Amino acid sequence: MSQAYKRYFGILLTVIGILLYIIPLAYGFFTVKPGEPLSTDSWYGRGYYISAILILIGPALWLGEVPQALVKAVKAKMLGVKGGGS
């Protein structure tokens, strides 16, 4: 998968994940008596329990490369070191 497609796919997964996440919680919050459990048997509940998985993997595809701040910190340390670690 090319980088661009990977990004779009990641964004798509993230958006679907957020929708699956928010809709059941919002629906439950406004319609169900507070404290009464929502169930995965309900129509709005089915997607909820896979939503966090999508939210987990979506941004990883979208923003997956190592942060530059981290790379710079490692480079700076390696340039200033005196020897190996073993």
Partner 1 sequence: MNPALIALTVVVIYVIAYFAYGRYVLERRVVKADPTATTPAFSKFDGIDYVPANKYVLYGHHFASIAGAGPIVGPAIALVWGWGLPLIWVLFGNIFIGAVHDYLALMSSSRYGGLSIMSISENFMGRTARYIFLVYVWVALILVLAAFLSVGSSLLAATPEAATLIWLYMPIALLYGMLVYRAGIRIRDALIIAIILLIIAFWFSFQVPFKATYHQWVVILALYGFIAAALPVWYLLQPRDFLNALLLWTFVGLAIIAGLTLLWVPLTGPIYTSFVAPGAVLGAVAGTEPAKALIAYFWPTVPLVIACGALSGFHSLVSSGTSSKQLSNELEGLLVGFGGMLTEGAVSSLAVLLPAAIAWDFVGLQTATGAPVVDALKAVGIDVEKVKDILGLAPAVRFTTAYGLTQALLWSNLGIDFVSAFKMFRVFATVALVAFIVTTLDTANRLARFAWVEFFDWVKPRNPGLHGILTNRWVASAIAIALGLIMAYPKITVVVAGKETTVYAYSLVWPAFAGTNQLLAALALLTSALWVYVALRVRGLTGLVILIPALFLWVTVMLALAIWLFLITPGIPFLYQITAGVLVLISFLLSLLLIILFTRGLLRGR
Give yes or no for residue 19 binding partner 1 (CB under 8 A): no
In whole angstroms, the minimum distance from the beta carbon of 84 to partner 1 comes to 6
Question: Is residue 1 close enough to count as binding partner 1 by CB under 8 A?
Answer: no
Tell me the two tokens of residue 42.
């309900």
Token duo for residue 13: 């997964």
Residue from 25, 43, 47, 72 that binds partner 1 (CB under 8 A)?
25
CA separation for the pair 86, 80 (Å, rounded): 17
The phi, psi pair for 24, rounded to 5°, reads -60, -40
> Does 85 participate in binding partner 1 (rule CB under 8 A)?
yes
Does the protein bind partner 1 through residue 44 (CB under 8 A)? no
Residue 70 phi/psi, 5-degree rounding, is -70, -45
Q: What 8-state DSSP symbol labels residue 81?
A: -
Query: Applying CB under 8 A, which residues contact partner 1?
Result: 21, 24-25, 28-29, 32, 34-40, 45, 48-53, 55-57, 59-60, 63-67, 69-71, 73-74, 77-78, 81-86
